[in-house]
Amino acid sequence: MSRLTLTAPAKLNLFLHINGRRDDGYHELESLFTLLDFGDELTFQLIEADTIDITGDVNGIPKEDNLIYKAAMSLITYRTVKKGVTVHLTKHLPMGGGVGGGSSDAATTLLALNILWNCQLSLAELANIGLQLGADVPVFINGKTSLAQGVGEELTTFEQAEKWFLVIAPDVHVSTAKIFTDPALPRNTPKLKSPWSMTETRNDCEELVKKLYPEVEKTLTWLLKYAPSRMTGTGSCCFATFDDEQTAQRVLQDIPCSWQGFVAKSASESITHKQLATWLNKEK
């Protein structure tokens, strides 16, 4: 039980409502998160040296600033297997695109090392640790389509029909901090009252981002020719929803060459959790 390869899945915010701003600067929100069956790939290899090493697509980020490293360090005091680890990262998700790449990598690291280091922490305990790394990390630890409330840490499993999504990353980087500190950002959307439907929802960040980053507006306008579309998180990634893979793949072939994109299916259970269960069964 010394080597493990897992997918760190992308997420989409199917909607994002901002209900208010707290005194500590954090925002109260409501968002429906779904995970996709596509993401980064992380391979964990236990080593004798008591070190945490990260190889692969690190994009020049210092190790101490890497969320994978921070996630591993947060489990050091819980490990009972006194070994170090090398984590090899293969990036497939765009950085800063609103699809949760860094948070997903951190959550996958927590899930993997909880097993490899025999930390014996519950998912709830891992989620609490993950929240210190980022508001989206508990979503990936939880591993299910979820309605998030509070600052993102209050998760309720949500039944949602599986769909195919075309996700497009325009050639622009959106600063999350810039969006959430902008005075023009709506912060007074009423909380949803049950029962509610997706037609009542939106992404409260979308209009501001389109104004500040015209390439995002261009992307959304282009996607609307083919299917209902929306921005995820604070962008820059945008997505369109389809009932079948073939239609989504055909549209992907038509995207402008300056954009990147992928097609993936939503998953009611995270691909990471499925892979972990399969691996554990083989190791028994």
User: Domain boundaries in the chain?
Assistant: 3-159+271-283, 164-267
- For domain 164-267, the CATH superfamily is GHMP kinase, C-terminal domain (3.30.70.890)
**136 is a catalytic site residue:** yes
CB distance 37 to 104 below 8 Å: no
Of 70, 136, 144, 210, catalytic: 136
- CATH top-level class for 3-159+271-283? alpha beta
Q: Which residues are annotated as a binding site for ATP?
A: 94-104
Predicted pLDDT at 119: 98
Give the per-residue pLDDT at 152.
Answer: 82
Find, among 255, 38, 102, 226, the residue nearest to 168 by Cα: 255
Per-residue confidence in pLDDT tens, the chain, 284 aa: 579 999 999 999 999 999 999 888 889 999 999 999 999 999 999 999 999 999 999 988 899 999 999 999 999 999 999 999 999 999 999 888 899 999 999 999 999 999 999 999 999 999 999 999 998 999 999 999 999 998 888 999 999 899 999 999 999 999 989 999 999 999 999 999 999 999 999 999 999 999 999 999 999 999 999 999 999 999 999 999 999 999 999 999 999 999 999 999 999 899 999 999 999 998 87
pLDDT at 1: 58
The pTM assigned to this predicted structure is 0.94
Task: Compute the radius of gyration of the chain from its Cα atoms.
Answer: 19
Amino acid letter, 224: L
Which tokens belong to 282?
């083989």
Give catalytic status of residue 11 as yes or no. yes
Dihedral-angle region of residue 120 (phi above 0 means left; psi in -120 to 50 means alpha; beta otherwise): left
State the pLDDT at residue 149.
Answer: 93
